[in-house]
Amino acid sequence: NLRRSFLQTRNSELRTRNTELETLRERDIFLPNPSMKRFHQLFGLLVVVAFLMTGQYMDKYLAHLHGMPDGPRMLFRTRHIFILLAGLINLGIGSYFNYRSQRGQRALQVLGSALIVSATLLFIIAFFYEPGLSDLKTPLSHYGMYLIAIGTLLHLFSEVETDRSGTL
């Protein structure tokens, strides 16, 4: 009877807490949502698979890049490594991600994640697009590098807590 009573009380508490969280989520898009952690894990894994596939593309369809001029060969290889970088950053974020306690901190996390995902997509597109450009222009990976750096820094800055008066 004691155990049954304890379990009923615990279930009641959990239902109340879930109801409260759902009510808060409706008002605040930056409230904890376990899907962000899972998203970064799955997205990072897919990007690492894309890295492996771009490696196979260079091997099978571009004959190990043999005989290719230095500029395009360098662009293929660096974009290939940028894809790995982005995949590993996503996996890293997915392994640690927990929403911060304050709304501003959560907003930095969400914005940082959006920038990192955008940069990742730019790197994948750049792998196929930029080696064909003249004069070694790199518009996509140029902005992708800024986005991934800013996104990572936003995740870092989300660690900074302020007290209720707004001071650090």
The ranges of the chain with pLDDT < 50 are none
* Residues ≥6 apart with Cβ < 8 Å to 109: 30, 36, 97, 99, 100, 154, 155, 158
Distance CA 37, CA 94 (A): 5
Give the helix/strand (H/E) hosting 99: none
Single-letter amino acid, residue 152: T
pLDDT of residue 85: 97
Per-residue pLDDT tens digits for 68-114: 888 898 999 999 999 999 999 999 999 988 888 788 999 999 999 99
pTM for the model stands at 0.77
CB 90 within 8 A of CB 47: yes
CB 74 within 8 A of CB 104: no
Give the helix/strand (H/E) hosting 56: helix 35-56
Single-letter amino acid, residue 55: G
Distance CA 168, CA 163 (A): 6
Distance CA 164, CA 166 (A): 5
pLDDT of residue 164: 56
pLDDT of residue 99: 84
